Amino acid sequence: MSMKRMICLVGGVILLVLGLIGLALPVIPQIPFLAGGLFLLMKGSGRFRAKILSSKLYRKHIRWRIEANRYTKRLLQAIEG
């Protein structure tokens, strides 16, 4: 396992935990931590990325924006890996 992949996975888990703590404590913002954690986990794990990209939530809310060219190419490259 490469060092970059390991850092992405560990960072993603840490951010997800902070996001979950933020759900219980209104002092900590949860959305940036949850989004960052999911992004890092998608970068670190191909299997996790495939699961997210095939989910109903992704197809319903994000895919149509991609098809309508609502996102920049740089962001799409980051999402797709």
| pLDDT (0 to 100) of residue 12 | 92
| pLDDT (0 to 100) of residue 51 | 82
H helix intervals, 1-81: 3-24, 31-44, 46-53, 56-61, 63-67, 73-80
Contacts 24+ apart (CB under 8 A), 20-27: none
| pLDDT (0 to 100) of residue 11 | 93
* pTM recorded for the entire structure: 0.68
For residue range 26-78, list pLDDT tens digits in order.
888 888 898 888 888 888 888 888 887 788 777 676 666 666 666 666 766 66
